[in-house]
A and B are shown apart, each in its own frame.
Chain A
Amino acid sequence: MTKLHVSTTINGDPFEFLCAPDETLLDVLRNRLGLTGAKEGCGTGDCGACSVTVNGRLVCSCLVLGAEAEGAEVTTIEGMADGDELHPLQRHFIDGAALQCGVCTPGILVAAKALLEKNPDPSDEELRYWLAGNLCRCTGYDKIIRAVQAAAAEMRGA
């Protein structure tokens, strides 16, 4: 298969890569660009572990072709902390032990950040529906909901 040349922006930085036409954005991020924060859980858009944003929209990167990133603005978990300073969501996840194995965590953080940008003060129900596409088999979700709400409260106060 002839490879495609793609120019894109990831976490604010310009990137260029070659990919196969049927290669997903998730595979490009992980295998070609070394951005291994997004995880592959299911590969079929059910688990949300590969969540990123494309042009500001939360998506599963396993359901996006690398070729579709041409000219797009992509953000991943790698862009969430500001240098060594963790994002409030990341800090509250650690402080509140809202993760165990951690495989779902990058996707949940990216998804939660996208919600708080749209709705800084979600109800628990809104939050649970928003995160319905992010599966966690460790925590039982309760600590995740509490950590996002704690981060949201801090961000509203900031």
Chain B
Amino acid sequence: MRYLAAKTAAEAAGALAAEKGLTRILAGGTDVLVQLRSGMVEPDLIVDIKKIPGIRGIVAESGGFRIGAAVSGAEIGEHAALCAAWPGVAEGVQLIGSTQVQGRCTMVGNLCNASPAGDAVPSLVAANAVARIAGPDGERDCPVADIPAGPGKTTLKKGEIITSIFLPARPDRASDAYLRFIPRTEMDIAVASAGVSLELNADGTVKAARIVLGAVAPTVVVADDAGKALVGTNLDDGALAAMAKACEAVCNPIDDKRGTIEYRTKMAGTLAKRAALIAYARAGGSK
């Protein structure tokens, strides 16, 4: 195995594209080093992207935020303006692992590891976040929603790396929330999860809602009909029940030791309801 600490995104993309063998990108390493250790992968080349200028920074851009691919969960949690604008995004990434893991793990790593249960992903998709990708053919932007392709698989092409995530500007009366269910209180993988982003009208009714479910399908799922069920309402019981039902309709989970199909499906709707109520209160809605 060779180790390359790339100095630019172009150098990283070039090296990854030119390598004929197996490659891994190293940012926080909290998944890659576990894979190395277990012998799951034996890469020929590891490209460390942390020395690329700007990749460890959070900067304001167009009223929103651009978050470098190597920014750790702990750094996101310490960024007060980002946490105020996108509390659901911040709480998702901060649920990954322990304090030690938070010191290293990244949103982009969580996205590219492509576990259906990744805690950073539902809120990013609910936020309409956009990934900036550097590749052998230059730079492109791609909605985060289009990155996961299935467990352990992404739509990124050979040589491509995500260099940053853009979170758009937040209008007034807008917020988000993320909830997951785990059988213990800390350090576990979501059995089901939900990220909800809401925008409210001046009268407190929902103007726009985006609901994204995790761990209930091969990738995160955008529950479009669930979002529509909330529009125009102030999250009355009927609207929440319709929303939960619409969530259940798009679930396609697996049965395993951590949860049955029925349980995960039911929990996805329940978590979406609870997350919607939190996002609603954060956005200034009152019932």
Q: Which residues of A contact B (CB under 8 A)?
A: 1-2, 4, 21-22, 24, 43-46, 48, 51, 54, 57-60, 62-65, 67-68, 70, 111, 114-115, 129-134
Q: Which residues of B contact A59 (CB under 8 A)?
A: 100, 103-104
Q: Which residues of B contact A132 (CB under 8 A)?
A: 98-99, 185-187
Could you show 19 A-B contacts with beta carbons less than 8 Å apart?
A4-B3, A22-B36, A44-B34, A44-B38, A46-B98, A48-B98, A48-B100, A59-B103, A60-B98, A60-B100, A63-B34, A63-B104, A67-B3, A68-B50, A70-B5, A111-B99, A129-B186, A133-B100, A133-B101
Q: Which residues of B contact A45 (CB under 8 A)?
A: 30, 33-34, 97-98, 100-101
B197 at the interface (CB under 8 A from A): no
Most A CB within 10 A of own CB, among B48, B50, B72, B101: B101
Structural contact, A58 and B100, CB atoms closer than 8 A? yes
Which 10 pairs between the two chains have the least Cβ-Cβ distance? Answer: A133-B98, A21-B3, A57-B103, A132-B186, A60-B100, A59-B103, A63-B33, A44-B34, A133-B100, A67-B3
Give bound CA distance, A54 to B97, whole Å. Answer: 18
Interface residues of B in 179-215 (CB under 8 A from A): 185-187
Give bound CA distance, A15 to B74, whole Å. Answer: 27
Q: Which residues of A contact B26 (CB under 8 A)?
A: 65, 68
Digit string of B1-41 for contact with A (CB within 8 Å is 1, else 0)? 11101000000000000000000001011100110111000
Q: Which of B1, B99, B187 contacts A21 (CB 8 A)?
A: B1
Q: 8 other contacts beyond A63-B33, A129-B186, A133-B187, with CB at 8 A cut-off?
A: A21-B1, A22-B1, A44-B37, A59-B104, A63-B30, A63-B100, A111-B100, A134-B98
Chain B residue total in the interface (Cβ 8 A): 28
Residue of A nearest to B34 (CB): A44
Structural contact, B97 and A133, CB atoms closer than 8 A? yes
Give bound CA distance, A130 to B187, whole Å. Answer: 11
Q: Which residues of B contact A51 (CB under 8 A)?
A: 100
Q: How far is the CB of B53 from chain A (nearest CB, A)?
A: 15
Structural contact, A133 and B2, CB atoms closer than 8 A? no
B220 at the interface (CB under 8 A from A): no
Q: Which residues of A contact B187 (CB under 8 A)?
A: 46, 132-133
Q: Which residues of B contact A64 (CB under 8 A)?
A: 29, 33, 104
Give bound CA distance, A115 to B99, whole Å. Answer: 10
Contacts A21-B46, A22-B1, A58-B100 given: A63-B186 contact, CB under 8 Å?
Answer: no
Q: Which residues of A contact B97 (CB under 8 A)?
A: 45, 133
Q: How far is the CB of B83 from chain A (nearest CB, A)?
A: 16
Structural contact, B48 and A67, CB atoms closer than 8 A? yes
Structural contact, A65 and B3, CB atoms closer than 8 A? yes
Q: Which residues of A contact B48 (CB under 8 A)?
A: 65, 67-68
Q: Which residues of B contact A60 (CB under 8 A)?
A: 98, 100-101, 104
Structural contact, A24 and B33, CB atoms closer than 8 A? yes
Q: How far is the CB of A42 from chain B (nearest CB, A)?
A: 9
Structural contact, B101 and A62, CB atoms closer than 8 A? no
Structural contact, A67 and B5, CB atoms closer than 8 A? yes
Q: How far is the CB of B42 from chain A (nearest CB, A)?
A: 9
Q: Which residues of A contact B72 (CB under 8 A)?
A: 57
Q: How far is the CB of B31 from chain A (nearest CB, A)?
A: 9
Q: Which residues of B contact A134 (CB under 8 A)?
A: 98
Q: How far is the CB of B109 from chain A (nearest CB, A)?
A: 12
Give bound CA distance, A60 to B28, whole Å. Answer: 11
Residue of A nearest to B186 (CB): A132
Q: Which residues of A contact B46 (CB under 8 A)?
A: 21-22, 65
Q: How far is the CB of B96 from chain A (nearest CB, A)?
A: 11
Most A CB within 10 A of own CB, among B1, B26, B98: B98
Structural contact, A62 and B33, CB atoms closer than 8 A? yes
Q: How far is the CB of A53 from chain B (nearest CB, A)?
A: 8
Interface residues of B in 246-273 (CB under 8 A from A): none
Q: Which residues of B contact A114 (CB under 8 A)?
A: 99
Structural contact, A63 and B99, CB atoms closer than 8 A? no
